[in-house]
Amino acid sequence: MSAISIGCWTCRVRHKKCDITIPFCRECSDRNVHCHGYGPKPTWMDGASEEKKERVRIKTAINQYVRRVRKMQNRTKRALLPQADKETQPHTNSGINASTAFDTEEDSNILPSASLELLDRPSSQDGIFDPQAASLLMHYFDQVFAWQFPYFRSTSPLGNRGWLLYLLMKRGPLYHAVLSLSSLHQSAILGSEEEYQQKERALEHHSRALREFCKFMGEERGKLLDDNARLAEFLACSLILISCEVFRGAEHDWLLHLDAVISVMHSLSPKTIFDARYTSQDHPQKGLEFLLATMVSLDLFACLSTGRVPQLPYQQWLCTPEIQIADLLSCENWVMIIIGDLACFGKWKEVQEKKGVLSVSELSRRGAEIKGRLTTGIEKLDLTRDKQENHESQTGWVTLVFALACLVLLHTIVSGPLPALPEIQSAVSRSIIALQNRPRAYSLTGLVWALCVLGCMAQPHNQLLFENLIADVVRDSARFGNCGTVLKIMRNCWKMQETGRADCRITMSKMGICAILI
């Protein structure tokens, strides 16, 4: 019997009946509990301490959910009852005791639907969004989007974000996901009382987004391949849900969202997506270019923490004129292709070693081919900068840092995680020069992947520099995002290197985390 026919891993560990909704079952999403999906058995399910910890985490999440829903129900009753009735209405104790929520919450009929419908209803029929939602949406466009895409330029070919506003006006799962992310962001920069209120709103909208996303997938999945507008809405909502996890550190729960996207993109190709027959003025074509470029990038960045090869045909996508990563991340396509090639190279070496048939000459040949492309690309970047009289464009600077990180990763694969290796230290030293000479306008928040690779391979006398760089980003960002996770990875890596070999991937594995470095 397949895992999916039995149910998701969360329902199985709770001994609950699963409705087997893909990508997230409603039993979990309705209660704002992480659905562990239907894939291979999770590592925490060991019948011992890790499984016990996860059971406690699930129980705590459900108890919190019940308390929030009861609070929302009471707020809804006060809003719906006439003032005269409020004074005479006796307090009812419908619902369940929070302490027993883990075992009995499915029998209680406590669902936040009515409360959320009330919260979501515009105060005026004349407006598209109510004032609170409009404020959160503007906060997203003004501040949160810049956190997600620090190198995005409004003057680029993808600079018009009208497609995103168009999708938000549908008020579907994307709308609630954006409100949740925006509320989370506000909670990190507000005072304690306002912070609590914003977190409550974030949780409410996140629960609604997950529930409506499951419904959307159930109703629209078959239409995604034939309708670019629906496809864009699905990709955009998935991106925001991943960003919600990144906001909290992105140590675990982001991968399920990415895998749901990958399962859909397996049925797509650049030719069908960008074929003129499938596009029209009503379809957010630029939005698709934006979203597909982002998802291909996420698939590539995920390889470092998951240890797997790219799940998408990245070379095919990145050789398509419409997909230009530099317009979003300021990193040119050729470096992104090499990131994917390095993941494949590393996996090839791992498999060959396990089989006991690793050829040193073949290892060197493959490594030399990738090194040749990196060296040529870096030389071209140097020539371009010299022609600009030492003024380095943002794209040139970001591409260089990523290319140097790739060079470090390459030598780590070929020779092992040896910080003192001359080839590794040469690339790290040059990256330090680039980082120290960066124009002040160039943010570091878009370099998380590169900084983690470079920092983990820094020798002791350079470690403080990387630590301070990341610590400054963490402080300036009010501790939201996953730079704090990167700082933990680097510090643990340096500690492990005192007694053995370690790089960022080995360190994450030892720490028991799977962090997407974006």
The answer to whether residue 348 sits within a structural domain is yes
Q: Which helix (H) or strand (E) holds 290?
A: helix 285-306
Instruction: Let me know: does 475 contact 493? Beta carbons within 8 Å.
Output: no
* Residue 359 burial (10 A CB sphere; 0-12, 13-18, 19+): exposed
Task: Find out whether 7 and 17 touch, Cβ atoms under 8 Å.
Answer: yes
Phi first, then psi, for residue 202 (nearest 5°) are -60, -45
Range in 62-66, 269-273, 397-401, 465-469 the model is least confident about:
62-66
Peptide bond into 270 cis (omega under 30): no
Report the number of distinct structural domains present in the chain: 3
CA distances in angstroms from 166 to 21, 208, 229, 303, 437, listed in the order given: 28, 20, 10, 33, 40
Q: Are residues 405 and 277 in the same domain?
A: no
Whether residues 322 and 348 share a domain: the answer is: no
pLDDT, residue 388, reads 65
Is residue 95 within 8 Å of residue 108, measured between CB atoms? yes
Which of residues 37 and 138 earns the better pLDDT score? 138
User: To 10 degrees, what angle do helices 360-387 and 333-355 make?
Assistant: 170
Q: How far apart are CA 267 and CA 248, in angstroms?
A: 31
CA distance 155 to 496: 45
In terms of domains, do 388 and 501 share one?
yes
Assigned domain for 85 exists: no
Which of 27, 52, 75 is at the close of a domain? 75
Q: How far apart are CA 514 and CA 189, in angstroms?
A: 27
Query: Residue 322 half-sphere exposure, CB side, CA atoms within 13 Å?
Result: 18
Tokens describing residue 184 = 């989370």
pLDDT of residue 191: 56
Q: How far apart are the first and last CA of the chain?
A: 37
Check the CA dihedral 447-450-453-455 and report its sign: negative
Structure tokens at 91: 């307090």
One-letter identity of residue 460: P
Q: Are residues 299 and 335 in the same domain?
A: no
Claim to verify: residue 209 and residue 310 sit in the same structural domain:
yes
- Residue 450 to residue 392: CA distance in whole angstroms: 18
pLDDT digits (tens, 9 = 90+) for 387-444: 666 567 899 999 999 999 999 999 999 999 999 999 999 999 999 999 998 888 888 9
- Where among 59, 75, 91 does a domain terminate? 75
pLDDT at 448 over 80: yes
Does 195 lie in the same domain as 66? Answer: no
Question: Of 55, 75, 95, which one is at a domain's C-terminal end?
Answer: 75
- Residue 311, C-beta contacts closer than 8 angstroms, at least 6 positions apart: 259, 262, 266, 299
Same-domain pairing of 160 and 289: yes
pLDDT, tens digit, 9 for 90 and up, residues 354-389: 999 999 999 999 999 999 999 999 999 988 876 666
Question: d(Cα 112, Cα 208) in Å, to the nearest integer?
Answer: 8
Please name which of 457, 459, 483 lies closest in space to residue 471, comparing C-alpha atoms: 483
CB 175, CB 218: distance < 8 Å: no
Cβ partners under 8 Å of residue 15, min gap 6 = none
The verdict on residue 10 lying in a domain is yes
Q: At CA 172, angle to CA 168 and CA 178, rounded to 5?
A: 55
Q: Which two tokens stand for residue 482?
A: 């996953």
Query: Which residue, among 379, 370, 385, 311, has the nearest Cα to 338 in the 3D structure?
Result: 370
In a domain, 120, yes or no: no
Q: Are residues 239 and 301 in the same domain?
A: yes
- Asked if 262 contacts 311 with a C-beta cutoff of 8 angstroms, the reply is yes
- Please tell me whether residues 155 and 169 are part of one structural domain: yes
Distance of CA 178 to the CA centre of its chain: 14
> How does residue 88 score in pLDDT terms, banded at 50, 70 and 90?
very low
pLDDT over 90 percentage in the chain: 41
Question: 27 pLDDT band (50/70/90 cuts)?
Answer: confident
What rounded mean pLDDT belongs to the chain? 80
In a domain, 425, yes or no: yes
Is 391 inside any structural domain?
yes
| Cβ-based neighbours of 232, under 8 Å, separated by 6 or more | 163, 167, 283, 284, 287, 288, 291
Which residues, other chains included, contact 224 with Cβ-Cβ below 8 Å and sequence gap of 6+? 230, 231, 234, 264
Count other Cβ atoms within 10 Å, centred on residue 345.
21
Q: Is residue 52 part of a domain?
A: yes
How many angstroms separate the CA atoms of 147 and 130, rounded?
25
pLDDT digits (tens, 9 = 90+) for 201-220: 677 777 778 887 877 777 66
pLDDT band at residue 82 under the 50/70/90 scheme:
very low
- How far apart CA 206 and CA 395 sit, in angstroms, is 34
Query: Running DSSP on this structure, what letter comes out for residue 90?
Result: P
Here the CATH number for the domain that contains residue 35 is 4.10.240
Examine the domain organization and report whether 14 and 71 are in the same domain: yes
On whether residue 95 sits in a domain, the answer given is no
Q: Is the pLDDT of residue 55 over 90?
A: no
Q: Which domain holds residue 397?
A: 330-511
Q: Are residues 323 and 334 in the same domain?
A: no
